[in-house]
Amino acid sequence: MHFSLALALLTLSAHAINIVSSNDDGWAEINIRELYDSLTAAGHSVVISAPAENESGTGSDDATPSALTSACEFDSCPAGSPAYGYNASQPRFNYVNSYPVTAIKYGINTLASKYFSGSAPDLAVTGPNVGSNLGWEVFFSGTVGAATYAANTAGIPAIAFSGATGSQTAWNVSSVPLYSEVYAQLATKLTDELIAGGTPYLPDNVWLNVNFGAVTDGESCTTADDFKFVLSRIHTAIPLITADDVETCGSTRLPTETTVVDTDGCYASVSVGVASDKLDADATVQAVVLDRLSSLLTCL
């Protein structure tokens, strides 16, 4: 083996981690499958544990799974299927007939020991969600609910990814949408940057809310390289009440994630949240993330 190839493989394996993946759009939606492929290609060991159906807007709901009375979304499993199931040709694709929080719990508590040699996941990722999760929407998003469960209750660092472009699309569509490919690549890029510095990847009880701007065929923002990441805050700061954010880009007030994704150009917002209440983390915690992602972040 050539020295350069051996070094590349060693570098890849040094940063390869175990990841549990979920969403609220369902296990058979194209975005979660594309993210699986992208993270796996980057060398990570990934297992999907996501709802059997589209469970968008279910927040942090949790309930005991039950057998399916109708087919899974996109006919990905037949009516009468058990409460828990998997893809026969790819057993790392798992469904749970319940909410996103319930699904990621199953991934963490049951599937991880099977696929990660008895170890807990190193990281939880959710999404990319079909549609943005900005500001107050985080309180209702199942994609966010699953990520905050992982970070708060299970103690696993977590990232919720969402994208402005797209619609509910089956895993077996004849041509993978461009936005799905781009969002998977962007999510992998940020994930790799986050873990490059070693553990702990995030402070305790902290999650990242990442929103990608629009992708449009034939126009700008058509590749992952077109996008720039900006550190942001989830909720609008209240004058004279909200404490200062971390100082960066010449200011002690971060832009809201809504401002970032609505700005002309190709931007992705990265907000630092407290998992237990889904509010913004303070400046000290923001500074930890700013330092870790410094080479990836830019000013708006």
Domains observed in the chain:
12-292 (3.40.1210.10)
Question: How far is residue 189's CA from residue 174's CA, in Å, rounded to a whole number?
Answer: 26
- According to DSSP, residue 74 is labeled G
C-alpha–C-alpha distance, residues 154 and 144, integer Å? 14
- Per-residue pLDDT tens digits for 198-243: 999 999 999 999 999 999 877 789 999 999 999 999 999 999 999 9
**pLDDT tens readout for residues 171-182:** 999 999 999 999
The DSSP code sequence of 111-143 is IHHHHTTTPPPSEEEEEEEEB---GGGGGT-HH
Band of residue 12 on the pLDDT scale cut at 50, 70, 90: very low
Cα distances (Å, whole numbers) of residue 160 to 50, 74, 124, 206: 14, 23, 9, 11
Name the helix (H) or strand (E) containing 273: strand 267-274
Q: What is the pLDDT of residue 14?
A: 52
Q: What is the pTM of this model?
A: 0.95
CA gap 121, 191 in Å, rounded: 14
CA angle at residue 151 from 197 to 119, to 5 degrees?
70
Q: Phi and psi for 21 in degrees, rounded to 5?
A: -120, 135
